[in-house]
Structure 1
Amino acid sequence: MAVFVHLTDLHLRPPGVLTLGRIDTDRYVVQAIDAINARHPDIDAVIVSGDITDLGEDEAYNRAAMLLSRFPVPVIVVPGNHDQTAALREAFRAFPGLGEETVPGKACHAHRVAGVTLVALDTSIDQLATNGHHGELGAAQLEWLDATLSQAGPALIAMHHPPFGVGIGFMDKIGLADARGFAKVLARHENVLRIVCGHVHRTIVSEVGGVPAIAIPGVAHQVVMALDDATPAALVMEPPAYGVHMVDNGRAISHIGYVESYGTPVLFDNPVPA
């Protein structure tokens, strides 16, 4: 069995600086790494699906690289809409896939880990420079994905923007622009077991071209569950979380774990029958 831990939306600022002036994302990231290392000693890799920083500062990327280096397994990183690809690539040059440029302008890469091909896609479009936050894969990256999947075997795709509508209006406005093109590529391959992503700071499950897809909460703040037009766009301090994706015998299973502890477990009075 292959086991992958999944973190997303770290939104780090330089050391000592609070995100949005009020959220100590550094503390949240440290807590998440400590909890995962304590609870999950036998994982095969860690996936970090974008928004490593909040404003793309070099100091924030350097801090992120230092913290994520505390995992004893490969860490697969892709950028999000709050990232700057060039700065991320420089800070994470020693991490898998980020010392090379497979597709010009995109930080996409693929790795065979424990019998599974982890495909990391770059949906960022240098939003910090353009003040836009939607995602786009682009024709060249879709061609690369098509070629990669054709020889990948069992595969798991990681990306920042969900390739599906999430039902939260203000997030769907900054979703993946070429989701249909992505779905067309998936339709040509039957070996993709799961698509995992972030961006929306919530647990949201859907499917793309018949492939199960899951977005997970961030390790710090979350996005309000605004399922109607009356609920304003907002961030909420709901529990920080992470994902665990297990692949066994050609099937993928995904779990959501909470970083914080909620007291001593209450044991069953009698063993659960087999």
Structure 2
Amino acid sequence: MIIAHVSDIHIGGSDESVERALRVRDYINGLPAPVDAVVVTGDIADHALVEEYEIAREAMRYDAPTIVCPGNHDSRAEFRKVLLGETGTGSDPVNQVLRLDGLTIALVDSSIPGRHDGYLDDATIAWLAATLAATEGPVFVGMHHPAVALGLPSVDAIRLTHPDRLQAVLERHPHVRAVLAGHAHTAASAVFAGLPLVVAPGVVSTLKLPGECVLPDDWTEGDALDFAVPPAFTFHVFDGERLVSHTRVVL
């Protein structure tokens, strides 16, 4: 089973954001053998505008089952209206599940309206626990914010807070096989709750490590972003037990 993991397309976040997102989409759709699913871990729009989501909807029209969660640049109401076709204020977390033959993917909403750091509220923790309890077979759990520090100051300052809440749920469900995330704009891997945690690279830009750039004392999240590096995404190869991840740069 092969899963394409895309993240941080930030439509409207740069002059090239749309072209870069379309380049990744066309690469995935043009593969000789289709992927089994596409997971998109947040920051779909850069300013949470309806028109950005309308563009993103086309840029994420993959030829495979697709599941998407919000990030810190997204708005739940506009996300729901345009990408999910739902009406209403949409203030509740956007938690979704995709069930495939041999794998379930549960995406939880780690966004906090009006803030850049992440948190899984009580409703989301309860939803995830119930979903895992009702699911047989392997599960990937994903969200926008990584649950561990990655050595990237601008991201680590706004990562998932209180990750122990997530860890407690995952440790009760040994059929979870991996945790997926975005937010960091760089491909990264770690271990969380005894599981592989894989962070997809950014489509719109790449975040440099401290050794690759110098951050000012009053840095912002954009100071270490490089928009010249080509867009990238991750392939997850899963055999039912073991996960192997490959980062692919799209030239």
TM-score normalized with structure 1 length: 0.83
Shift of residue 244, structure 1, vs aligned partner: 0.9
Shift of residue 143, structure 1, vs aligned partner: 1.4
Q: Secondary structure at the match of 2:245?
A: strand
CA contact (8 A) 1:221 1:235 kept: yes
Question: In structure 1, what is the Cα distance between the partners aligned to 2:32 and 2:176?
Answer: 25
1:235 equivalenced with 2:218 (yes/no): no
Aligned to 2:123: 140
* Aligned 1:94-243 pairs, distance under 5 A: 94=85, 99=86, 105-127=92-114, 132-152=115-135, 153-226=137-210, 231-232=215-216, 233-236=223-226, 237-243=228-234
CA contact (8 A) 2:186 2:207 kept: yes
TM-score normalized with structure 2 length: 0.90
CA contact (8 A) 1:12 1:54 kept: yes
Q: Secondary structure at the match of 2:229?
A: coil
Question: In structure 2, what is the Cα distance between the partners aligned to 1:167 and 1:125?
Answer: 22
Which amino acid in 2 is paired with 1:234?
A: A
CA contact (8 A) 1:44 1:114 kept: no
Question: In structure 2, what is the Cα distance between the partners aligned to 1:79 and 1:39?
Answer: 26
CA contact (8 A) 1:135 1:177 kept: yes
Q: Secondary structure at the match of 1:39?
A: coil
Shift of residue 230, structure 1, vs aligned partner: 5.1
Equivalences, count: 242
Question: In structure 2, what is the Cα distance between the partners aligned to 1:100 and 1:119?
Answer: 22
Aligned to 1:47: 39
Runs of 5+ consecutive residues of structure 2 not aligned to the other structure: 217-222
Question: In structure 2, what is the Cα distance between the partners aligned to 1:223 and 1:216?
Answer: 12
Shift of residue 227, structure 1, vs aligned partner: 5.5
Question: In structure 1, what is the Cα distance between the partners aligned to 2:22 and 2:67?
Answer: 18
Aligned to 1:25: 17
Shift of residue 41, structure 1, vs aligned partner: 3.2
Aligned to 2:220: none
Shift of residue 151, structure 1, vs aligned partner: 2.6
> Which of the pair has more CA radius of gyration?
1
Question: In structure 2, what is the Cα distance between the partners aligned to 1:192 and 1:223?
Answer: 29
Shift of residue 228, structure 1, vs aligned partner: 9.5
Which amino acid in 2 is paired with 1:158?
A: G
1:10 equivalenced with 2:2 (yes/no): no
Question: Superposition RMSD on alpha carbons, in Å?
Answer: 2.1
Q: Secondary structure at the match of 2:237?
A: strand
Runs of 5+ consecutive residues of structure 1 not aligned to the other structure: 14-18, 261-274
Shift of residue 111, structure 1, vs aligned partner: 1.9
Which amino acid in 2 is paired with 1:144?
A: W
Residues 99-140 of structure 1: per-residue CA shift (max 9 Å, x gap): 599x9711001121121011011011113xxxx200111112
Percent identical residues: 32
Per mean C-alpha deviation after superposition, the further-off stretch among 105-114 and 37-46 is 37-46
Residues 162-181 of structure 1: per-residue CA shift (max 9 Å, x gap): 01111112211111112111
Shift of residue 253, structure 1, vs aligned partner: 1.6
Residues 38-67 of structure 1: per-residue CA shift (max 9 Å, x gap): 225321111111000100010000111122
